[in-house]
């Protein structure tokens, strides 16, 4: 069986489906696309959060939103007013359902579930030849959303590892009007650890324990910490786990030492997703960034017949994230104090724009001014001597 395609999308998770949606919206002008996805069914396996901003995507599908966020440590507590840009949560099942429906309406897009590549694509005479379990095919371009191999991720400055339970308990234990963005555990030299609590009623909430560290933490490493976190918020009362989510996100990937493959250097082969630049280096926020990339990539395919990479961050933002990650990596015990300084000294609107990739010059300057001088100057001095 030989089928000619304009585009192969390897992996139909958030990035693959988001691009598929944008291409499906082109209707009869859409390219001929195959989406290969290994899973056989989509489950409610994760959530995405973002501040409600003009130009956001899927805000009409969100499950809940909060106009107040709490950030706290053992020493202090800060309330973040986000009434002008509420913090929103979107469950993956709502996104998957919407994306699958839109993709399914366009016959030029074919989503194959339970399918994977049998052999890696090979470039030959203007086509990428590949083999799936239903036949041999070829495509003009490829967007590969599979996570990069472990050896290509060792250059990450930090890892964000998390494990969360969405729970339902018997007694009222939460304030559904306020979410806890960061509740730091005791400062230490191994990692920056904090609880993340998103209540949707007085008796239900998503509680996550998150770690920023040099090495990733597996799910099994975080179970006891998460159990402690749940007890911290609801005491010893019984509760039911409705679902769980976990992940490991590389923060600040370095790519100079990686030997690129032929695919990585070919303009018709693009890598996308969390390990390819989708996530904001210093925060891990990725959903809205993926949506913006999906539009850019779809437009590039329509105009030039070539997919687009994730856009690089504005120079000042990228440099600030880079220095911040270096400071946390080298001084994890400073983590809680640095975040508390950010949220306590910077105006709420400014910090929200900064964290949402919509910062203005004065926002950047306010963030820089809020940070303690010594550790950042040391890191800048190290960079200047390289």
Asked if the model's pLDDT at residue 382 lies above 80, the reply is no
Asked if the model's pLDDT at residue 164 lies above 60, the reply is yes
pLDDT of residue 264: 66
Q: Do 87 and 49 contact (CB within 8 A), yes or no?
A: yes
pLDDT of residue 380: 53
Q: Which two tokens stand for residue 147?
A: 């996570």
Asked if the model's pLDDT at residue 95 lies above 60, the reply is yes
Q: What pLDDT band is residue 258 in, cutting at 50, 70 and 90?
A: very low
pLDDT digits (tens, 9 = 90+) for 201-218: 999 999 999 999 999 999
pLDDT of residue 386: 40
Q: Which two tokens stand for residue 127?
A: 């086509």
pLDDT of residue 383: 44
Report the SS3 class of residue 21.
helix
Contacts of 48 (CB under 8 A, 6+ apart): 14, 89, 90, 92, 95, 286, 287
Q: Averaged over 24-37, what is the pLDDT?
A: 98
Q: What pLDDT band is residue 90 in, cutting at 50, 70 and 90?
A: very high
pLDDT of residue 2: 53
Residue of 152 and 237 predicted with greater confidence: 237
pLDDT of residue 228: 97
Q: What pLDDT band is residue 169 in, cutting at 50, 70 and 90?
A: very high
Q: What pLDDT band is residue 375 in, cutting at 50, 70 and 90?
A: low
pLDDT of residue 385: 42
pLDDT digits (tens, 9 = 90+) for 348-374: 999 999 999 999 999 999 999 999 877
Residue of 239 and 381 predicted with greater confidence: 239
pLDDT of residue 262: 54
Other CB atoms within a 10 A radius of the CB of residue 157 amount to: 21
Nearest to 248 by CA among 355, 323, 156, 357: 156
pLDDT of residue 377: 61
Judged by average pLDDT, the poorest of 150-154, 238-242, 268-272 is 150-154
Contacts of 221 (CB under 8 A, 6+ apart): 161
pTM: 0.93
Asked if the model's pLDDT at residue 79 lies above 70, the reply is yes
Question: In angstroms, rounded to a whole number, what is the distance separating the alpha carbons of residues 206 and 198?
Answer: 5
pLDDT of residue 379: 60
Name the H helices within the chain. Answer: 14-24, 92-104, 219-234, 262-265, 287-304, 315-330, 335-345, 348-355, 361-370, 373-385
pLDDT digits (tens, 9 = 90+) for 320-348: 999 999 999 999 999 999 999 999 999 99
| Helix (H) and strand (E) counts in the chain | 10, 17
Q: Do 35 and 103 contact (CB within 8 A), yes or no?
A: yes
pLDDT of residue 384: 40
Per-position DSSP letters for 117-143, written without gaps between them = EEEEEEEETTEEEEEETTEEEEEEEEE
Q: Averaged over 61-87, what is the pLDDT?
A: 96
Per-position DSSP letters for 43-65, written without gaps between them = ----EEEEE--TT-SSGGG-SEE
Strand partners, 192: 212
Q: Averaged over 85-95, what is the pLDDT?
A: 98
Q: Which two tokens stand for residue 154?
A: 């060792």
pLDDT of residue 140: 97
Q: Which two tokens stand for residue 117?
A: 């590549």
Question: In angstroms, rounded to a whole number, what is the distance separating the alpha carbons of residues 209 and 4?
Answer: 46
């Amino acid at each position: 069986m030989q089928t000619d395609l304009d585009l192969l999308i390897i992996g139909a998770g958030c990035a693959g489906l988001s691009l598929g949606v944008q291409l499906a919206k082109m209707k009869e002008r859409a390219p001929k696309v195959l989406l290969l996805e290994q899973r056989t069914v989509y489950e409610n396996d994760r959530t995405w959060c973002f501040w409600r901003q003009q130009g956001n995507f899927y805000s009409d599908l969100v499950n809940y939103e909060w106009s107040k966020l709490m950030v706290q440590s053992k020493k202090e507590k800060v309330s973040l007013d986000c009434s002008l840009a509420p913090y929103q949560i979107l469950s993956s099942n709502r996104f998957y359902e919407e994306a699958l429906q839109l993709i399914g309406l366009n016959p030029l897009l074919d989503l194959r579930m339970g399918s994977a590549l049998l052999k890696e694509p090979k470039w030959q005479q203007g086509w990428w030849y590949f083999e799936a379990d239903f036949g041999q095919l070829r495509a003009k371009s490829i967007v590969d959303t599979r996570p990069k191999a472990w050896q290509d991720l060792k250059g990450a400055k930090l890892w964000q590892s998390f494990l969360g339970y969405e729970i339902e308990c018997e007694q009222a234990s939460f304030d559904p009007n306020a979410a806890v963005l960061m509740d730091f555990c005791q400062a230490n030299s191994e990692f920056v650890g904090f609880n993340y609590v998103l209540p949707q009623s007085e008796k239900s909430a998503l509680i996550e324990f998150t770690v920023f560290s040099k090495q990733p933490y597996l799910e099994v490493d975080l179970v006891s910490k998460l159990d402690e976190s749940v007890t911290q918020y609801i005491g010893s009362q019984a509760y039911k786990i409705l679902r769980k989510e976990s992940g490991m996100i590389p923060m600040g990937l370095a790519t100079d030492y990686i030997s690129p493959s032929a695919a990585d250097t070919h303009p018709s082969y693009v890598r996308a997703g969390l390990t390819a630049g989708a996530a904001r280096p210093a925060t891990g926020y990725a959903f809205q960034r993926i949506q913006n990339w999906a539009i850019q990539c779809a437009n590039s395919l329509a105009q030039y017949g070539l997919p687009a990479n994730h856009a690089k961050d504005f120079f000042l933002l990228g440099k600030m994230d880079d220095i911040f990650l270096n400071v946390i990596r080298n001084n994890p015990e400073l983590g809680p104090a640095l975040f508390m300084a950010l949220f306590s000294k910077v105006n709420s609107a400014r910090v929200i724009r900064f964290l949402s990739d919509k910062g203005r010059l004065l926002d950047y300057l306010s963030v820089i001014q809020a940070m303690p001088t010594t550790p950042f100057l040391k890191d800048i001095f190290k960079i200047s001597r390289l």
